[in-house]
Structure 1
Amino acid sequence: MITIIFIITILYLLLIGSFVYGFDKVPDFKLEDIPPKTKFSVIIPFRNEADNLPLLLASISRLNYPKTMFEIILVDDGSEDDSVEKIKNCNLKGFNISVVKNIRVSNSPKKDAITLAINQSKYNWIVTTDADCNLPKYWLDTFDNYIQNHNPKLLIAPVTLETVDSFFKRFQLLDILSLQGVTIGGFGINKPFLCNGANLAYHKDVFNEVNGFEGNLHMASGDDIFLLEKVIKLDKNSVHYIKNAAIVVTTKPELTFKNLKSQRVRWAAKTSNYNNVFSKLTAIAVLFMNALLVCLPLLYLAQIVSLKTLVYTYAIKFLIDFLLIFKTARFFEQGHFLSSYFLSCLLYPFFSIYVAFISVFTGYKWKDRTYKK
């Protein structure tokens, strides 16, 4: 038993340690004062987002980018509230903004919505975000600046949570920060495997070259990860991460445990369909480590392992995770939320294993729709 514990712990330590190392290997992107050249089609699918759309639309109105150089395509995926009315009544004079109705052709409404919008888009660079997001002022400027200075085909940019005013929300934030840290660290060790569709940009040609979301339409989610895997397979060097605070998109945490569980089950459900070997091995290593931490107290009570083994194992995970999250929180300027780290660290393995377990046997609810396993 001690040998198994040792192997799992060392593998996890090396894995997260590599992300910590990789985090610093990704250079901070410095913005230059250059005239904008890139034209963007910003695609935002939505369904029953009447409460969130005002904040999104207000952030669009504050974008610094020339209005003639981007369009906003909002795709209504069968909203049953007054989302469309909120858009029609918003004050976005001078903006090229349109609302189109989604056409369902698969089991993935969001992928259908994005594909429909891409087919109707005017410009070659596609940018996606979500209806519950808040966009920074220099969002498109940063994308344009990076595109002019490099030759990317797919760009991944940072996402974090805002309005984090309770322990439940800070718990979610620390989880998101860990995922963002792993995303950045993965690029630093030349093993990119994570991204977030709330802040993603890609050239229309590469989307068409990899046949869009074909092959993954049976999965309701994954419009970001599966596309990333395809583009990496096509041309890994054309996939870049923009490490710059000016492009950070913020979104809201879930308000209830039920919604959080459903969200995490949805995320867990797609991991079995990953094609990237490194992402699968990472998921397995994290799962085994969390399962070990859940089992260790029981093994100690059964006198199978010593208290020293239990404490050392917890301490190793606590410290290596903290180092990665600390670096990420500092980048996002959210270090003041680390006060909730200790308790979150103790609770997270149990939450993670619970989600992994129920994701095997149950479906999930997303945007008021139920998806079966």
Structure 2
Amino acid sequence: MCFFFGLTFLFLFYYIVFLWYFGKGFRQLKPGNNPKTPVVSVIVPARNESKNLPFLFHALEQQNYPREKLEIVLVDDRSEDATYLLMDHFAKRHSHVKVIRITQKTSTMSPKKYALTQGIQNAKGEIIVTTDADAHPGSHWVATLMQYYTPETGMVIGYAPYRTDGPYDTLFHRLLALEYFSLAAVACATAKRKFPTTCNGANLSFRKKVFEEVGGYGEKGKWLSGDDDLFLQTVFHRTSWKIDFAMGPDAAVFNNPPRTVGEWIRQRLRFSSKHLAYPWRVKWVLGGIYAFYVFLLSATILAIFRPNLFPLVLGIWGIKSLSEVIFLRKAKQKLEQRPLLRYYPLACVLHVLYVVFFPLLGQWIKPKWK
């Protein structure tokens, strides 16, 4: 028993150091100041997104970036609804919009990564910006991202928060928004400390020559992960380009969250399926956190049957929670304006179960793409 709790406190100490060390990255987060306006290509892959595209098209029309330096590449990925017709109509009204239509799958790459690759290869922009068909970017989105492109910068990560308005104004969706905010906090902090761990393809930009330099998505393109974590890791480990994070509401791109618990589970299993593909350095760092969560859950279950252990386990939970709240409050000052932290007490309990079990299930259950 002493050995078990000794390891638990050891991993707790590791977790606190992790949050403290990377939490200092928020101090380095500053607005971009690059005045140049490079040619930009926004890539939008879509499959059966006719309900969402009109909202995205309106947002893209409102971009205050020089029109002659902005290209929009729409990629229809075998849609069975009116997606292609909407894209074609939008392109006919705007000379800076082009449409690519994919009619067949490829066996070497996941459908979404293949759609993105086709869009990037046909893009003329120096900077590639990717987003999703259900995205809601603000009018200053592209311009804000470009302000972070210094000569040594090869990739800029943006915040892609979940919506909590309209049909998504529920407790379930606020919990999802808090979880996505916590992921963005980790993405921001680790990027600023020069050890980027995660990003979101719904709000990601990079130089086209960086994409070509690493061979595109390569073997990593086969994963149905729903994000570009593995591409981020390839750029970080195989090039010397700087990876930055864009702050502020103008750089954020709101997205529609999963509508139901079932959709969320399928999405998270898809995300979790790629964890073993991370580079070893990242797996060691994140593995220590996973080990802490396993020991914490085990200690909690043990305390249920050994009530005398309850004060000790409660103390571990308290230290963990205090460290997380401090970390997230620092991130909130830079990234998030909504009062999402009020849902932390419930989310922190559910999050332990999620962190422990979903990475395991993601290796056993084969994910599917729509």
Relative to the length of structure 1, the TM-score reads: 0.90
Output one character per residue of 1:324-365: Cα deviation in whole Å (capped at 9) or x when no partner. Answer: 222223323334122111111122112332322322321223
CA RMSD of aligned residues (A): 2.2
Per the alignment, residue 351 of structure 1 pairs with 354
| Distance (whole Å) between structure 2 residues aligned to residue 179 and residue 40 of structure 1 | 27
Q: Aligned partner of 2:239: which letter?
A: D
Confirm or deny: 8 A CA contact 1:37 1:144 kept in the other structure: yes
Per the alignment, residue 85 of structure 1 pairs with 85
2:269 to 243, 265, 269: 265
Output one character per residue of 1:190-214: Cα deviation in whole Å (capped at 9) or x when no partner. Answer: 2122111111111111211111111
Q: How has the CA–CA distance of structure 1 residues 363 and 70 changed in structure 2, closer, same or farther, with 3 Å as cutoff?
A: same
Q: CA deviation at 1:223?
A: 5.9
| Distance (whole Å) between structure 2 residues aligned to residue 55 and residue 281 of structure 1 | 41
Q: Secondary structure at the match of 1:37?
A: coil
Q: CA deviation at 1:134?
A: 0.8
| Distance (whole Å) between structure 2 residues aligned to residue 84 and residue 174 of structure 1 | 34
Q: How has the CA–CA distance of structure 1 residues 4 and 189 changed in structure 2, closer, same or farther, with 3 Å as cutoff?
A: same
Per the alignment, residue 307 of structure 1 pairs with 310
| Distance (whole Å) between structure 1 residues aligned to residue 273 and residue 31 of structure 2 | 34
Confirm or deny: 8 A CA contact 2:199 2:227 kept in the other structure: no
Per the alignment, residue 153 of structure 1 pairs with 154
Output one character per residue of 1:257-295: Cα deviation in whole Å (capped at 9) or x when no partner. Answer: 111111111111101001151x21233223223223322
Q: Aligned partner of 1:186: which letter?
A: T
Output one character per residue of 1:95-141: Cα deviation in whole Å (capped at 9) or x when no partner. Answer: 51122112533241112111111221122221111111111211121
- Equivalences for residues 93-132 of structure 1 within 5 A: 93-102=93-102, 104-105=105-106, 106-132=108-134
Output one character per residue of 1:5-30: Cα deviation in whole Å (capped at 9) or x when no partner. Answer: 11121111111222222222x23114
Q: How has the CA–CA distance of structure 1 residues 212 and 107 changed in structure 2, closer, same or farther, with 3 Å as cutoff?
A: closer
| Distance (whole Å) between structure 2 residues aligned to residue 248 and residue 95 of structure 1 | 26
Confirm or deny: 8 A CA contact 1:174 1:325 kept in the other structure: no
Per the alignment, residue 25 of structure 2 pairs with 22
Q: CA deviation at 1:222?
A: 6.3
Confirm or deny: 8 A CA contact 1:161 1:173 kept in the other structure: yes
Q: CA deviation at 1:172?
A: 0.9
| Distance (whole Å) between structure 1 residues aligned to residue 300 and residue 235 of structure 2 | 43
| Distance (whole Å) between structure 2 residues aligned to residue 326 and residue 48 of structure 1 | 38
For this pair of structures, how many residues does the alignment match? 362
| Distance (whole Å) between structure 2 residues aligned to residue 59 and residue 73 of structure 1 | 14
Confirm or deny: 8 A CA contact 1:213 1:223 kept in the other structure: no
Q: Secondary structure at the match of 1:123?
A: coil
Q: How has the CA–CA distance of structure 1 residues 222 and 183 changed in structure 2, closer, same or farther, with 3 Å as cutoff?
A: same
| Distance (whole Å) between structure 2 residues aligned to residue 302 and residue 358 of structure 1 | 27
Q: How has the CA–CA distance of structure 1 residues 92 and 28 changed in structure 2, closer, same or farther, with 3 Å as cutoff?
A: farther
Is 1:8–2:11 an aligned residue pair?
yes
Query: What are the ranges of 5 or more consecutive residues in structure 1 without an aligned counterpart?
Result: 369-373
Confirm or deny: 8 A CA contact 2:175 2:343 kept in the other structure: yes
Is 1:325–2:328 an aligned residue pair?
yes
Confirm or deny: 8 A CA contact 1:229 1:276 kept in the other structure: no
Per the alignment, residue 60 of structure 1 pairs with 60
- Equivalences for residues 137-176 of structure 1 within 5 A: 137-147=139-149, 149-163=150-164, 164-176=168-180
**Larger deviation, residues 346-355 vs 86-95:** 86-95
Confirm or deny: 8 A CA contact 1:67 1:94 kept in the other structure: no
Q: How has the CA–CA distance of structure 1 residues 188 and 122 changed in structure 2, closer, same or farther, with 3 Å as cutoff?
A: closer
Is 1:243–2:247 an aligned residue pair?
yes
Relative to the length of structure 2, the TM-score reads: 0.91
- Equivalences for residues 287-306 of structure 1 within 5 A: 287-303=290-306, 306=309
Per the alignment, residue 316 of structure 1 pairs with 319
| Distance (whole Å) between structure 1 residues aligned to residue 235 and residue 360 of structure 2 | 31
Q: Secondary structure at the match of 1:153?
A: strand
Q: How has the CA–CA distance of structure 1 residues 223 and 318 changed in structure 2, closer, same or farther, with 3 Å as cutoff?
A: closer
| Distance (whole Å) between structure 2 residues aligned to residue 180 and residue 209 of structure 1 | 26
Identity of paired residues, percent?
Answer: 27
| Distance (whole Å) between structure 1 residues aligned to residue 119 and residue 351 of structure 2 | 38
| Distance (whole Å) between structure 2 residues aligned to residue 220 and residue 343 of structure 1 | 30
Confirm or deny: 8 A CA contact 1:67 1:95 kept in the other structure: no
Output one character per residue of 1:284-318: Cα deviation in whole Å (capped at 9) or x when no partner. Answer: 22322322332223211332861121111111121
